[in-house]
Amino acid sequence: MKEELRDGRNIDFALETGFRRAWPSIRDSNISTIITCTILFWFGSTFGASIVKGFALTLAIGVGVSMFTAIVATRTLLHTFLGRLDLAKRKGLLGV
């Protein structure tokens, strides 16, 4: 986002570009965590370690909630608040 704002783009374009560039990293890390959760849950079922199953389930739920928050809540809040920001006067708020 900062790079786009420094290049003189408007804030909506910078926000969308920032999310678009960050999405592959967010997606890949969460998919690998879900795969790890599946493996842990399977090993917990196989070897009778219910505490491992509980950890895997809790971790998977946390990843799901984090993804929802990152995709829906954070994007909505940023669009709401940054849309009202006068960037010419407040560049320091965004580190530009």
Per the CB < 8 A criterion, the answer to whether 66 and 10 are in contact is no
pLDDT digit string (tens) for 18-45?
889 988 999 999 999 999 999 999 988 8
pLDDT digit string (tens) for 43-92?
888 877 888 999 999 999 999 999 999 888 888 888 888 777 777 676 67
Q: If you search the block for the tokens 């669009």, which residue do you land on?
A: 79
| In the chain, beta strands by DSSP E | none
pTM for the model stands at 0.73
Per the CB < 8 A criterion, the answer to whether 8 and 96 are in contact is no
Q: How far is CA 93 from the centre of its chain?
A: 21
Say what the pLDDT of residue 11 is: 80
